[in-house]
Chain A
Amino acid sequence: MRPPRSLRSLPPEGAHAADRQSGIRAWPWLSRLAEHRLFWPTCTLVLLLALNATFNAGFWQLQWRDGHLYGSLIDILNRAAPLAVVALGMTLVIATRGIDISVGAVVAIAGATAALLIGGTLVLKGGQQTYVSRTPMAVAIVAALAVAALCGLWNGLLVARVGMQPIIATLILMVAGRGIAQLITNGQIITVYYAPYFTIGNGFLLGLPFAVFIAAAVWVVLHLLMTRTALGLFIQAIGINPAAARLAGLPERLITVCVYVFCGFAAGVAGLIVSSNVKSADGNNAGLLLELDAILAVTLGGTLLTGGRFSLAGSVLGALIIQTLTSTIYSIGVPPEINLVVKAAVVFVVMLLQSAEFRASVRAWVQRRPLPGAPVR
């Protein structure tokens, strides 16, 4: 059995106390702000944006062209959308002490399903050029999302019913899922020739990329579910102490299954965005390593991998941080062959900065050298 969470110490307490003791004591509102769980992720994002702006003078510029907004910031938002959606699903899974490393493969499966069903050709109809899809687009989208949710159901049943460890249970689909996607695409890259489908990943609404609205919608719906129903409370209770949750009468297994189903569904949404964006479905490479970015986004957002308390907004921030970092690396001209190393180094530093324990020990190290004339403790 897993050890009870209640036996775990609560380190952030001491760390926050240390925050209060340090220089920011002078401004109580700032100290309260610094205690907010989103304070450090936000700092990181602002820092990265500022860094970008120093290297790229036009970074903050937004242009209105053809009724759309253009600019680096819009780019980041657009590209971060699929990652944010996947990270939101992953957040709930991680909150229940689980993990889902199959999301990348599910992205490929969903994309392949949609692309196969839509296909699409340009035909002349009555002297007019019209796009014709193999099946109606709505059917294709619903089918792709259903397949993705089914993948999540498989994961959820393995974890909650069979009792497999989440990382192993989802590893199965992570490996097999690529094969399934290849089966759907018949080993080829399926290209979509159906313009309406491109709206999802390339279109604009009210001047902003359509994908941003999708991510925002997923976020808002999830936020409402967590704050307007008991789901948020139940998921946290299950993540912190599953034995106590079961004894208190929570439908522990059902909720766990639902959380994995939603994670699969979210990966399906991301799959639609990605395949629409590149106008094709590649079973091999779509969503490759996306699971790792999603886990990283959740972690950057302040949700612990050990489950329990979670932050949806934090995970969205995390996704934005990762995308901003990627853009920064390209814009400041890091050679492509070493950009992964640079990215890893930055992530490492960011993680250290966000760790309350690390900040506390740095502070202790700085304070160990007493100022001249100061009383020695």
Chain B
Amino acid sequence: MADASIGSVILEARGLTRAFTGVVALRDVDFTLRAGEVHAVMGQNGAGKSTLIKVLTGVFPPDRGELRLHGAPIAPSSPAAAQHLGISTVYQEVNLCPNLSVAENIFAGRYPRRGAAGLWRIDWPRLNADARALLARLQLNIDVTRLLSSCSVAVQQMVAIARALSVQARVLVLDEPTSSLDESEVQQLFGVMRRLRDDGMAILFVTHFLDQMYAVSDRITVLRNGERVGEFLKDDLPPAALIRAMVGRELSAAVARQAHAPAAPAHDAHPALQATGLGRRGLLQPTDVMLRRGEVVGVGGLLGSGRTELARLLFALERSDSGEVKLAGEAVHLTTPVQAIRHRLAMCPEDRKVEGIVGELSVRENLVLALQARLGVRRFLRPGKQAEIARRFVQSLGIQVADLDAPIARLSGGNQQKAVLGRWLATDPKILILDEPTRGIDVAAKQEVMNEILQLARAGLAVLFISSEMDEVVRVSDRIVVLRDRRKVGELPGDTSEHEVFQLIAAGT
């Protein structure tokens, strides 16, 4: 490790290109990582961040382009090979063995042995002492014989980093390490990152949290649609410019619009839903949201900004630990979805396949499921009545289905999504929470779903609309609640433009 001098280039990628079944995920990307820096890779979903990391760490080879480590070309064929070369990765989900001790995890596969005759005997005292020494470098003083599963996620992260250090890593790749950490744990991690950086380690850091990125990074590479937008020093790229680079649209140079709370109009003293300071530690900071009848409220924010968390807290899928919710002026305390449904709330979940459809049940059964749940076990809708209800929503939502008794899993994504929407409309809800109702469906179906949402609002529903497509949010919303880093940073009127939303996200403090 003679070339550990701060600032010298350690890892260099030139012209990396990688396509998956015809879709180019990475196009001609250059990337340079220097010793003693924390280098952030930023970009929206699908910008190519994870593909870049996976190419760098040997998960798959690039189609074109070359990698150089200390100037010598390398072609790691697997993460293990990359690790052998000194490129260690700590993944988003900690990939350690929860049923082994901390020390065992750090040295898994490389236990120190002892004894002339017994080469196979593990030198436990040395193992534990080495582990303790490594963790001390991270200023972590814990019992290394503890089971990993008994440690907090933050400690598990540290153990993963210690494992990376123990293999003499020169390059450390941290893919979203902070997503499951709370504020103080994040600070602890950043302390470790800074110390390692000062020791000459090159750190590649990926996060969705802008303020965290600014807190710890020295240099930023921005990707967009698989291409490199540029490499910047942190101080040369203020948040507004960063978001412009990530989103790719020219934002007006005007000062970011100040967050403002719209004055509640006098004619609606009791909005359909009013949440005050609703939040839960680790999920969402206390947030105010108000939904009026006949109104679509959009939620603007990047991935990980707390959009889904807000929806789940409102629907009582997660219990809140702060704030209160008023429905039509009446304070309620919802602890289960069943209660939320009884108060005429409805929610289309983010992941249609995991929490939406019941795949092997028929379209008919899927459409009546929520209504039947509200009616209870005894007031059973006979199959004839079910078909009648199902036919009504198949027609009004334009669900393309030949046979109401066919399993819903055989429908296209867009039709499944409409069926999940129809399931809730059948319960005649007053408040509709839609988490990514347009995800994974084709353009025409997206348009239909959005038209449907507007019509529902016109019919008097209060709608909360969440989408990662900002243009959709801007198009259907009467008001937009803007979230960033699990916090509400402001509210914008419905006639806002996309970049005003992005500006507020960038300016939000």
A187 within 8 A of partner (CB): no
Whether B355 lies near A244 (C-beta < 8 A) is: yes
A349 within 8 A of partner (CB): no
> In the assembled complex, how far is the CB of residue A1 from the closest CB belonging to chain B, in whole angstroms?
9
Given contacts A233-B372, A243-B355, A247-B317, contact A5 B377 (CB under 8 A): no
B354 within 8 A of partner (CB): yes
Instruction: Map CB proximity to B onto A1-15 as digits: 1 under 8 Å, 0 otherwise.
Output: 000111110100000
A230 within 8 A of partner (CB): yes
> In the assembled complex, how far is the CB of residue B439 from the closest CB belonging to chain A, in whole angstroms?
15
* A240 partner residues in chain B, CB cutoff 8 A: 358-361
B407 within 8 A of partner (CB): yes
A231 within 8 A of partner (CB): yes
Whether B409 lies near A10 (C-beta < 8 A) is: yes
* B340 partner residues in chain A, CB cutoff 8 A: 249
* B36 partner residues in chain A, CB cutoff 8 A: none
Whether A6 lies near B353 (C-beta < 8 A) is: yes
Q: Contact partner of B355 among A8, A10, A234, A247, CB < 8 A?
A: A247
B373 within 8 A of partner (CB): yes
B380 within 8 A of partner (CB): yes
Which A254-307 residues have a C-beta within 8 angstroms of B?
none
Given contacts A247-B337, A248-B369, A309-B360, contact A228 B355 (CB under 8 A): no
Q: How far is the CA of A244 from the CA of B348 in the complex (A)?
A: 10
Q: How far is the CA of A301 from the CA of B144 in the complex (A)?
A: 52
> In the assembled complex, how far is the CB of residue A233 from the closest CB belonging to chain B, in whole angstroms?
6
B297 within 8 A of partner (CB): no
B62 within 8 A of partner (CB): no
Q: Contact partner of A248 among B370, B377, B410, CB < 8 A?
A: B370
Whether A244 lies near B356 (C-beta < 8 A) is: yes
Q: In this complex, what residue of A is CB-closest to B356?
A: A244
> In the assembled complex, how far is the CB of residue A84 from the closest CB belonging to chain B, in whole angstroms?
25
Instruction: Map CB proximity to A onto B349-386 as digits: 1 under 8 Å, 0 otherwise.
Output: 10001111111110001000110111111111100000
A229 within 8 A of partner (CB): yes
Q: How far is the CA of A5 from the CA of B358 in the complex (A)?
A: 8
B293 within 8 A of partner (CB): no
Whether B372 lies near A243 (C-beta < 8 A) is: no
Given contacts A228-B380, A249-B374, contact A233 B359 (CB under 8 A): no
Q: Contact partner of B423 among A4, A6, A248, CB < 8 A?
A: A248
- Compute the total of residue contacts between A and B using a CB distance below 8 Å: 94
A151 within 8 A of partner (CB): no
Whether A229 lies near B377 (C-beta < 8 A) is: yes
Q: How far is the CA of A244 from the CA of B370 in the complex (A)?
A: 10
Task: Indicate the member of A247, A248, A251, A309 with the most B CB atoms within 10 Å.
Answer: A248
> In the assembled complex, how far is the CB of residue A310 from the closest CB belonging to chain B, in whole angstroms?
11
For chain B, the count of residues having a C-beta within 8 Å of the partner chain is 34
Q: Contact partner of A229 among B356, B370, B373, B380, CB < 8 A?
A: B380
* A234 partner residues in chain B, CB cutoff 8 A: 372-373, 377
Q: Contact partner of A251 among B317, B338, B347, B379, CB < 8 A?
A: B338
B47 within 8 A of partner (CB): no
Q: In this complex, what residue of B is CB-closest to A304?
A: B360
* B315 partner residues in chain A, CB cutoff 8 A: 247
Whether A6 lies near B359 (C-beta < 8 A) is: yes
A246 within 8 A of partner (CB): yes
Q: How far is the CA of A240 from the CA of B407 in the complex (A)?
A: 12
Q: Contact partner of A241 among B359, B378, B380, CB < 8 A?
A: B359
A245 within 8 A of partner (CB): yes
* B360 partner residues in chain A, CB cutoff 8 A: 5-6, 10, 236, 240, 308-309
B501 within 8 A of partner (CB): no
A250 within 8 A of partner (CB): yes
> In the assembled complex, how far is the CB of residue B377 from the closest CB belonging to chain A, in whole angstroms?
5
Whether B341 lies near A6 (C-beta < 8 A) is: no
* B423 partner residues in chain A, CB cutoff 8 A: 248
Whether B353 lies near A7 (C-beta < 8 A) is: yes
* A250 partner residues in chain B, CB cutoff 8 A: 338, 369, 373
Q: In this complex, what residue of B is CB-closest to A308?
A: B360
Q: In this complex, what residue of B is CB-closest to A252?
A: B338
Which B372-416 residues have a C-beta within 8 angstroms of A?
372-381, 407, 409-410
> In the assembled complex, how far is the CB of residue A17 from the closest CB belonging to chain B, in whole angstroms?
13
Whether B355 lies near A230 (C-beta < 8 A) is: no
Whether B370 lies near A231 (C-beta < 8 A) is: no
* B379 partner residues in chain A, CB cutoff 8 A: 230
Given contacts A4-B354, A6-B409, A228-B380, contact A249 B359 (CB under 8 A): no
Which B422-477 residues have a C-beta within 8 angstroms of A?
423
Instruction: Map CB proximity to B onto A217-241 as digits: 1 under 8 Å, 0 otherwise.
Output: 0000000000011110110110011
Q: How far is the CA of A240 from the CA of B379 in the complex (A)?
A: 22
Which B304-359 residues have a C-beta within 8 angstroms of A?
315, 317, 337-338, 340-341, 347, 349, 353-359
Q: In this complex, what residue of A is CB-closest to B354?
A: A4
> In the assembled complex, how far is the CB of residue B463 from the closest CB belonging to chain A, in whole angstroms?
18
Given contacts A230-B375, A230-B376, contact A10 B407 (CB under 8 A): yes
Which A1-49 residues have a C-beta within 8 angstroms of B?
4-8, 10
Q: How far is the CA of A229 from the CA of B377 in the complex (A)?
A: 6
Q: Contact partner of B358 among A10, A230, A237, A251, CB < 8 A?
A: A237
Q: How far is the CA of A5 from the CA of B370 in the complex (A)?
A: 18
> In the assembled complex, how far is the CB of residue A136 from the closest CB belonging to chain B, in whole angstroms?
33
Instruction: Map CB proximity to B onto A299-331 as digits: 1 under 8 Å, 0 otherwise.
Output: 000000000110000000000000000000000
CB-based closest 10 A-B pairs:
A6-B359, A249-B373, A249-B341, A248-B370, A241-B358, A230-B380, A4-B354, A243-B355, A248-B369, A229-B380
Q: Besides A6-B409, A233-B369, A309-B360, 4 other CB < 8 A contacts?
A: A4-B354, A10-B360, A247-B349, A247-B355
By a beta-carbon cutoff of 8 Å, the part of chain B in contact with chain A is 315, 317, 337-338, 340-341, 347, 349, 353-361, 365, 369-370, 372-381, 407, 409-410, 423
A to B CB contacts below 8 Å, 18 in the list:
A6-B358, A8-B359, A10-B360, A10-B410, A228-B380, A230-B380, A233-B365, A234-B373, A241-B358, A243-B355, A244-B358, A247-B347, A247-B356, A249-B340, A249-B370, A249-B373, A250-B369, A251-B373
